[in-house]
Amino acid sequence: MRPSLCLLAFLLVFSSLVSASQVWRVATSGEITAKPVVFSSGVAVATSAGEIFLLKPDTGVVTWRAAIAGVPLQPVLSQNKLVAATTNGKVVMLGTTGVAEKQFDLAATQNVTYIYGIDATATKIFLTTDRGVFAIGSAGNVTNIYPSSQVSGSPAASGNTVIFNEGSNLVKASEAGAVEWKHPFGGVWNSRPVVDGQTVYVGGLDNHMHALTFTGGIDKWTLDTGNWVLSTPLVNGGTVYFGSNDGNVYALDQTDGSVLWKTKTPLAIETRPEAGKMGGEDVIFVGSIANSIYAIETQTGDVIWMGTVEGWVADPLYYQDHVIFGSADKGIYSFSTERACSITSPVEGGVVGYKEVEIAGNSVSLAGAPTVLVRVNEGDWQSANVTQDGSWAYYLNPAVNMASGLNTISCMVSDSGGQESGKFTEIAVSRDPTTNLSDFVPVTSGTGLEGDVLAIQAYDGIDGSPVKRFTAVVDGKSYFAAGESVNVTMAQAGTHTLAIKKMGYNDYSMTFNISSKGTSPLVLAGGAIVLLAAVWLLFTKVLGKKK
C-alpha cells in the first residue's frame, strides 16, 4: 500500500510560488469531496480514485497512501482507527501505518449495493445504505439495526443513538434500532444532522434549516433560505453557521433561529463551515462550487479572504494555523492564515465603463498594521488606503488603467512579519468602453444667504445613487468632495457659477443666486421650493427608469 519514493515525489507539488498564502499542494489522481481528518499526527484525505493519503500537515509530505476498492466516503475515527466506507458497500479500518486491519464487504454479506454515509462513536460504526442502517460493533459484528429501502443521506451518531433520513422522515433510533421518534421532513441529502446539547440541526431539500428537540423531535424553529440546504451546519459559540444553494452563508441565533447575518457568494455553498482564525480574527471557512474558499468574520459576516483553486472546494479543516482542503481539481491544499485580504468591490464578473472604480475590501494580519497593495492585470503594485479596522480602498480611472474586455484585480498584504508572494486574492471584471456617460443631478442646500455655508451634493442621473469624490467648481475655484458632499462658504451675495465634474459623467454647469442677509423670508422660501422640486424630479426620473 505504500508508493515508491518516485511516486511520492510526483504526488507532492510544493506550491509556495503558486499562491499568495498557499503553503503546499499535493496532486492526486481523483477528486476530493471529503473533509481532511486529523489522524496519527497527520491529516488523512480520501479521493474519488479509491485512495487515502496521510500527509504531514506542515509540509504536505505523503507519509503513506492506502488503496481502497471503491469510492470512499467521508472517513471517520473509531476504535483508534481511520474508518472508510465506499459507495459500493466496502468498509475498511486503517491503522496508523495505513495497513487495513479490518475489512467488511456488506455487498457480499448483506446484499448492500450502495452506502450513503458513515458516522461512528468510540465503539460503534453506523452506515446508511440502500438496505437500511447497519451497525458494526467493536468485535466486528455487523447488524442491520433498521432494515429499510428508503434510507438516505449521512447518519449522525450521538451517544447511544443514531439519527438518519428515511423517505420523508428524519428518524432517531437507539443503537439497537428502536425508533425514538420520527419527524416529517422534506428530505436530507448532503446535510448531516448535528446534535448540540438538546437540539438537532439539519438542512433539508425543503430549502430550510431545521432545529428539532433531541428528545422528542419537535420543531424548535426553521429558516427558509429559498433553495436547498445541503450544507452540514456548524454550531459554535451560540451561533449556527451553514451555507445554502441560494449562494448565501448564514449565521443564526442558536436559540430562536433569527438571522444574525448572511453573506452572499456567487454560487451554491454546500460544504460545512469550519471555525478557525485568519490574521488573528475569528472566522469560519467555507468551500464553494465557485472554485473558491472564503474566510468570513464570525461577528459581522465580512469576507476577509478568498482563496481560489481550479475546482469545487470540499469541506475545509483548520489545523495548526493552516486551512487544509481538497478540491475537484484533484489537489489537496494548505493555506497559511497569518495575513490575508479580500476584494468586495467591484464584484466578481462585474462590468465597468468610464466611471471611477472603487476597489475595496478587508484585510487582516497576525503581525498587525497591514499594508495592502493593489494590482490591475500585470501592472505595478499600488498602495491602498487602509483604515484601523483593516478595511481598505483604492481608486482608479478605468479609461487609463484598464483594458477593454476582461481585467483582473489582485490584492496583497504586507506586514512586519512578511509579505505574500505568487498568486493572490483575485477577481475578474470586464470593461465596456461603449458605456454611455452619466449625467449629474445636483442638489444644493443651505440658507442661500451671504456668509453662510452652501452644501453641494450630486446624484447619478441613471440610477439615482449619490456620487462620491466629485469636484465642484464655484466661481472658478475647485472644491473636492471626499465623500458625498462638499461645503462652500459663500462670502458675497449675487450671481455665482457652479460646475460639477468627475470621470464617467458629463460636465454640469449652472448659475445660482446668493442673497444678502436682509433678503425677505418669502424669497428664501421660494428658493427652498425650487430645491425640493429638483429633488422630486431626480427621484421620479430614477423611478421611471426602474419601472
Rounded CA-CA distance 210/172 in Å is 15
Q: Which residue shows C-alpha cell 475595496?
A: 360
Q: What angle do CA 249, 406, 290 make, to 5 degrees?
A: 25
Asked if 415 and 365 count as a contact pair (C-beta separation under 8 A), the reply is: yes
Pairing relation of β-strands 351-352 and 425-431?
Answer: parallel
pLDDT one-digit tens code per residue, 181-196: 999 987 787 899 999 9
Rounded CA-CA distance 477/473 in Å is 5
Q: Is the pLDDT of residue 200 over 60?
A: yes
Asked if 198 and 213 count as a contact pair (C-beta separation under 8 A), the reply is: yes
pTM of the model: 0.83
Residue type, 207: N
* Stretch 143-169: mean pLDDT: 94
* Stretch 289-299: mean pLDDT: 95
Q: What angle do CA 401, 405, 408 make, to 5 degrees?
A: 60
* pLDDT value of position 15: 31
Q: Is the pLDDT of residue 9 over 70?
A: no
Rounded CA-CA distance 122/237 in Å is 25
Rounded CA-CA distance 229/99 in Å is 37
Q: Is the pLDDT of residue 18 over 50?
A: no
Rounded CA-CA distance 132/177 in Å is 10
Write down the H helix ranges in 78-177.
106-110
- The CATH number fitting domain 344-431, selected from 2.60.40.650, 2.40.160.20, 1.10.10.10, 1.20.140.10: 2.60.40.650
Asked if 82 and 99 count as a contact pair (C-beta separation under 8 A), the reply is: no
Rounded CA-CA distance 495/472 in Å is 16
Rounded CA-CA distance 279/277 in Å is 6
Residue 21 contacts by C-beta under 8 Å, 6 or more apart in sequence?
A: 305, 307, 335, 336, 337, 338, 339, 340, 420
DSSP 372-418: EEEEETTS--EEPEE-TTSEEEEEE-HHHH--SEEEEEEEEEEETTE
* pLDDT value of position 456: 96
Query: In the sheet where 292-297 sits, what is the strand order?
Result: 274-278, 281-287, 292-297, 303-308
In whole numbers, what is the pLDDT of the chain averaged over residues? 90
* Stretch 474-486: mean pLDDT: 95
* Stretch 15-41: mean pLDDT: 80
Q: Is the pLDDT of residue 329 over 60?
A: yes
* pLDDT value of position 122: 85
Asked if 133 and 142 count as a contact pair (C-beta separation under 8 A), the reply is: no
* pLDDT value of position 22: 85
Number of Cβ atoms within 10 Å of the Cβ of 141: 9
Q: Which regions of the chain carry the CATH code 2.60.40.650? A: 344-431
pLDDT one-digit tens code per residue, 381-415: 999 999 999 999 999 999 999 999 999 999 999 99
* pLDDT value of position 19: 35
Q: Which of 121, 119, 131 is nearest to 156 (CA)?
A: 119
Q: Is the pLDDT of residue 3 over 50?
A: no
Long-range contacts of 443-448 (CB under 8 A, 24+ apart): 443/531, 443/534, 443/535, 443/538, 444/498, 444/512, 444/531, 445/531, 446/490, 447/524, 448/513, 448/514, 448/515, 448/519, 448/524, 448/527
Q: C-alpha grid cell for residue 450?
A: 451671504
Asked if 192 and 156 count as a contact pair (C-beta separation under 8 A), the reply is: yes
Q: Which regions of the chain carry the CATH code 2.60.40.10? A: 440-546
Run of H or E residues at 435: none
CATH architecture of 440-546: Sandwich (2.60)
Name the more confident of 334 and 535. Answer: 334
Name the more confident of 528 and 296. Answer: 296
Rounded CA-CA distance 44/61 in Å is 12
Integer angstrom CA distances of residue 35 from 265, 303, 326: 21, 22, 7
pLDDT one-digit tens code per residue, 56-111: 999 999 999 999 989 999 999 998 999 999 999 999 999 999 999 999 999 999 99
* pLDDT value of position 541: 52
Q: Which of 497, 493, 496, 495 is nearest to 518 (CA)?
A: 493
Rounded CA-CA distance 166/151 in Å is 4
Of 265-269, 340-344, 418-422, 433-437, minimum mean pLDDT range: 418-422
pLDDT one-digit tens code per residue, 233-285: 999 999 999 999 999 999 999 999 999 999 999 999 999 999 999 999 999 99
Q: Is the pLDDT of residue 16 over 50?
A: no
Rounded CA-CA distance 154/480 in Å is 60
Rounded CA-CA distance 374/395 in Å is 10
Q: C-alpha grid cell for residue 149?
A: 429501502
Q: Is the pLDDT of residue 141 over 70?
A: yes
* Stretch 306-315: mean pLDDT: 93
* pLDDT value of position 419: 84
Rounded CA-CA distance 351/373 in Å is 22
Integer angstrom CA distances of residue 76 from 26, 72, 144, 159, 401: 21, 11, 20, 16, 51
